[in-house]
Amino acid sequence: MGRVRAFTLVELLAVIAVLALLLALLSPTLRRAVLQTQAGVCQSNLHQLSLAQVQYAAQCGGQLPAMRGWVGGGSTHTWQDDGTHVREGTLWPLVAREDVYVCPTFLGLAPQASRSYSMNWNLGNDREFFPRENLVRVSQIRRPWQMLGIGGENPWPISGISRYGIGDGCLLADRWPLRDSLGTFHLPAGDDLDSGLAGAVLMDGSAGLQPAPLTRRLCLQDDWP
């Protein structure tokens, strides 16, 4: 009597088994919660980039930043450098935080990424490639609530939808299959990361998650000048 009773090995194994079962039951829920949080951070990033885009225009007589200038690097594929190109971009003085340029879920899929967002090609025509095109002004956007400003891309292409994963800072979404990719990895129904949603911010500043076909439609307006 008086002896401290220790756990037997069988009791200890039973406790471990119960804990393992609980963890297995909870992990999809925990994983979902992490992904929800990351999707919220992504939308916050896009909102901040959108604010910088509009602030930039306000400082430049209403002219939006060039699609290849908002992040540096020109037409080269600079989404996985050490962050140099986002610091060289025209929006950097207004953003000044590297983490704002990359979606946390994207970073989990491509850990070397320094940028996961691209600007709607139709907003900022590029004198480097299209010398006769004018850069777009905020006043030319007739329905800002239906016009994509900046959207998230995928690191990989999807057969039949996109020919390349994320490359330069422009999101060119015209005819299928698209040259550029549209993000599909946010909150997929199952494990298929090609079936989820893209982070996107519209030109009225509202950020949300959109399915790929709608993201594409939001890149264009039928009465675009």
Structure tokens of 211?
């399915």
DSSP state of 12: H
Q: Is the separation of the CB atoms in 217 and 175 below 8 Å?
A: no
Given candidates 69, 73, 152, 155, which one binds Zn ion under the rule CB under 5 A?
152
By beta-carbon proximity to Zn ion, the closer residue of 70 and 101 is 101
| In the complex, least distance from residue 43 CB atom to Zn ion, rounded to whole angstroms | 8
Stretch that binds Zn ion, among 37-45, 75-83, 87-95, 119-127 (CB under 5 A): 37-45
How far apart (Å, rounded) are the C-alpha atoms in residues 120 and 169? 9
Which region, judged by CB under 5 A, interacts with Zn ion, from 64-72, 132-140, 168-176, 196-204?
196-204
Q: What spatial distance separates the first Cα and last Cα of the chain, rounded to whole Å?
A: 92
C-beta of 106: minimal distance to Zn ion in Å?
6
When asked if residue 199 is in the footprint of Zn ion (CB under 5 A), the reply is: yes
Which one, 42 or 178, has the nearer CB to Zn ion? 42
Minimum Å gap between C-beta 83 and Zn ion is 18
- Peptide bond just before 65 cis, omega within 30 deg: no
Q: Do 67 and 123 meet the contact criterion of CB atoms below 8 Å apart? A: yes
Using CA atoms, how far apart are residues 53 and 93, in angstroms rounded to an integer? Answer: 11
Contact in structure between 155 and 165 (CB atoms under 8 Å): yes
Measured from the CB atom, the residue of 103 and 166 that comes closer to Zn ion is: 103
CB of 107 to Zn ion, least distance (A): 9
How, if at all, do strands 198-202 and 170-171 pair? unpaired
Q: Does 203 bind Zn ion (CB under 5 A)?
A: no
Among 57, 71, 100, 103, binds Zn ion (CB under 5 A): 103
d(CA 199, CA 2): 64
89 binds Zn ion (CB under 5 A): no
The three-class DSSP label of residue 74 is coil
**Residue 209 in contact with Zn ion, rule: CB under 5 A:** no
Minimum distance from CB of 115 to Zn ion (Å)?
Answer: 12
List interacting residues with Zn ion (CB under 5 A): 42, 103, 152, 199
